[in-house]
């Protein structure tokens, strides 16, 4: 109950923040955004034609009115139709978000889980060889460009130069229509193709994220390890594994969970431009990429606004999670 009150208060506090974030989005994307007038019109357009188009696109409205229109779109979550395909933005995103989610989720979970395990391992041997080995590998992982990783993994796993195990690009198609296919067979079809398309992007994402995660988590855990209560626990003979789990990891979970939750919006909506573009996965990342290159403002507006709002929500979620896992944070403040 008190946690609920706390959550509601946090939500109320977030309202000014949401205003600020959407205002900035408006300034950057709409006010200074792309001007489609001349790409729509033929080369020798008359002044009347230009003005007609500008009125149609709403470019001639004064600043505040444009802002009002934008805010109306944000609040109703109705960003109109894509200027390139004419499809409703909401239906485009409805298709793209689950795809992005399915692509990013395995990498997200594994990169964090492996990061914590490696960090625990390194911190447990801090200063000695295993620690240094892990840290050097993490630094290498951080230093290699995402693009290079994607290309290298595609060469290794998806081409006849390498193992040729997976398709280079694409996404799961609906199964061919066999009338006597059982539910199990259909599930197996989806399962099989899902992994064949997701495996390499997942590996690439893990490769890139793992270095950062491990280094961050290790730093947090080492800080916890140096605390007096860890030393006291050793003094009365608590076993190392129990110390790592009960005293160290539990306390380290506060900064660790912050980092994990903060990256959630990217998994849900912002997608991953590079991965989805290179692997031809029709998720939010690819949709956004195409929208930016085509100047398709409604889609860009929707994606950026949703990302910003989700980010704010993730911050609130962090506060609430803090509240639950850290008894020191009181309800009243």
Site of interaction with other proteins (CB under 8 A): 227-229, 231-239, 242, 247, 250-251, 325-328
CB closer to other proteins out of 94 and 242:
242
Tally: H helices and E strands in the chain: 15, 0
C-beta separation of 284 from 299 below 8 A: no
Q: How far is the CB of 329 from other proteins (least distance, A)?
A: 10
CB closer to other proteins out of 75 and 235:
235
CB closer to other proteins out of 31 and 227:
227
Q: How far is the CB of 333 from other proteins (least distance, A)?
A: 13
CB closer to other proteins out of 91 and 232:
232
How many Å apart are CA 219 and CA 121, to the nearest integer? 12
Q: How far is the CB of 109 from other proteins (least distance, A)?
A: 24
Q: How far is the CB of 332 from other proteins (least distance, A)?
A: 14
Q: CB-based contacts of 297: which residues, under 8 Å, 6+ apart?
A: 29, 30, 33, 34, 36, 83, 291
How many Å apart are CA 224 and CA 59, to the nearest integer? 55
Q: How far is the CB of 140 from other proteins (least distance, A)?
A: 20
CB closer to other proteins out of 252 and 299:
252
Residue in the structure block whose two tokens are 């076993």: 239
User: How far, in Å, are 8, 223, 226, 252 from residue 247 at the CA level?
Assistant: 31, 12, 11, 9
DSSP letters spanning 106-125 = HHHHHHHHHHHHHHHHHHHT
CB closer to other proteins out of 87 and 326:
326
Q: How far is the CB of 305 from other proteins (least distance, A)?
A: 38
Buried b (16+ CB within 10 A) or exposed e, 212-246: ebbbbbbebbbebbeeeebeebeeeeeeeeebbee
Q: How far is the CB of 122 from other proteins (least distance, A)?
A: 18
CB closer to other proteins out of 229 and 331:
229
How many Å apart are CA 289 and CA 213, to the nearest integer? 26
Residue 303 Cα to chain centre, angstroms: 12
Q: How far is the CB of 247 from other proteins (least distance, A)?
A: 6
Structure tokens at 88: 């409703």
Burial class (CB in 10 A: 0-12, 13-18, 19+), 178: exposed
Residue in the structure block whose two tokens are 């799961």: 172
CB closer to other proteins out of 169 and 240:
240
């Amino acid at each position: 109950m008190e946690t609920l009150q706390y959550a509601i208060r946090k939500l109320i506090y977030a309202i000014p923040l949401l205003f600020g974030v959407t205002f900035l989005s408006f300034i950057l994307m709409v006010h200074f955004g792309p001007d489609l007038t001349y790409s729509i019109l033929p080369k020798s357009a008359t002044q009347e034609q230009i003005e007609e188009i500008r009125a149609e696109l709403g470019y001639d409205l004064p600043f505040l009115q444009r802002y009002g229109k934008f805010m109306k779109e944000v609040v109703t979550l109705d960003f109109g139709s894509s200027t390139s395909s004419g499809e409703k933005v909401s239906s485009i995103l409805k298709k793209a978000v689950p795809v992005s989610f399915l692509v990013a989720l395995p990498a997200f979970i594994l990169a964090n889980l492996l990061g914590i395990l490696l960090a625990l391992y390194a911190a447990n041997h801090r200063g000695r060889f295993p620690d240094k080995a892990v840290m050097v590998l993490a630094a290498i992982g951080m230093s290699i460009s995402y693009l290079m990783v994607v290309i290298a993994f595609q060469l290794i796993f998806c081409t006849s130069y390498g193992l040729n195990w997976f398709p280079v690009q694409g996404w799961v198609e609906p199964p061919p229509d066999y009338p006597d296919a059982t539910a199990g067979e259909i599930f197996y079809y989806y399962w099989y193709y899902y992994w064949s398309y997701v495996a390499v992007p997942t590996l690439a994402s893990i490769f890139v994220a793992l270095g950062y995660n491990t280094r961050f988590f290790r730093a947090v855990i080492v800080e916890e390890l140096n605390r007096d209560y860890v030393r006291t626990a050793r003094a009365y003979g608590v076993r190392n594994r129990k110390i790592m789990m009960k005293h160290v990891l539990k306390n380290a979970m506060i900064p660790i969970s912050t980092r994990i939750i903060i990256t959630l919006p990217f998994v849900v909506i912002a997608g991953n431009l590079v991965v989805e573009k290179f692997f031809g996965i029709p998720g939010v990342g690819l949709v956004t990429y195409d929208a930016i290159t085509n100047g398709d403002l409604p889609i860009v507006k929707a994606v950026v606004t949703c990302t910003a709002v989700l980010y704010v929500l993730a911050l609130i979620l962090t506060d609430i999670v803090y509240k639950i896992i850290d008894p020191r944070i009181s309800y009243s403040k």
